[in-house]
Amino acid sequence: MNTALSAGMWIAGGVLAWAGVAKLIRPESAGAALRLAGLPGGPGVSRLLGLGELAVGAGALLVGGAVAVSGLSLFYAGLALFSQFQRGVPGSSCGCFGAVESPLTGVHVVYNVAAALIGAGAAWSASAGLLPSLSATPLLLVTTAVGVVTAAGLLTISLTTYPVLKQLLRRSEEVTA
């Protein structure tokens, strides 16, 4: 087992699962992003997407294995394509974590491509999830889980806050120019 690859896969699984939970709770922003792309985007579709993200992300994070982690890689590859195509569209939003005001940027594309590649590598090596990897050492499981949650949280913040800060900085430069 490649520890760095497994850790990256656990974090990517945690981020995807969290995005799924956000869509289940607040499906509006994902629906708006889908509709802007010309796809069906009602609350039901957004929640179904969120349920898929939660299932695939949690499966990769907790259980792992080639099937769950291949699903993770495919999900992120699809998100990378969606992000790339929608990035230049005026008013586009990621809809990732229920944040309507978060525009799509290159950061989304880079993260999604990196997560897809990590998932592919982890699937190839049949990386295990957190539970089978660390079940023999409960303290290691707890500390690793805390690290994964922290890293996933920081990635979530960077995917939603960085684009907004960049947009605000651009506006302030326009005002002062």
Residue 114: pLDDT band by 50, 70, 90 thresholds?
very high
Tell whether the model's pLDDT for residue 169 goes beyond 90. Answer: no
Reported confidence tier of residue 168, pLDDT bands at 50, 70, 90: confident
Q: Per residue, what are the HEC states of the chain?
A: CCHHHHHHHHHHHHHHHHHHHHHHHCCHHHHHHHHHCCCCCCHHHHHHHHHHHHHHHHHHHHHECHHHHHHHHHHHHHHHHHHHHHCCCCCCECCCCCCCCCECCHHHHHHHHHHHHHHHHHHHCCCECHHHHHCCCHHHHHHHHHHHHHHHHHHHHHHHHHHHHHHHHHHHHHHHC
**Alpha-carbon dihedral 59, 62, 67, 73, rounded to 10 degrees:** 80
What pLDDT does 12 receive?
92
Arithmetic mean of pLDDT, 101-121: 87
Beta bridge partners of 93: 103
Q: Which residue has the higher pLDDT, 55 or 161?
A: 55
Q: For residue 84, give both structure tokens.
A: 């790339």
> pLDDT tens digits, residue range 46-85?
999 999 999 999 999 988 888 999 999 999 999 999 999 8
pLDDT by residue (tens digit) across 116-154?
Answer: 999 999 888 888 887 776 666 777 777 777 888 788 878
Asked if residues 79 and 113 have their Cβ atoms less than 8 Å apart, the reply is: no
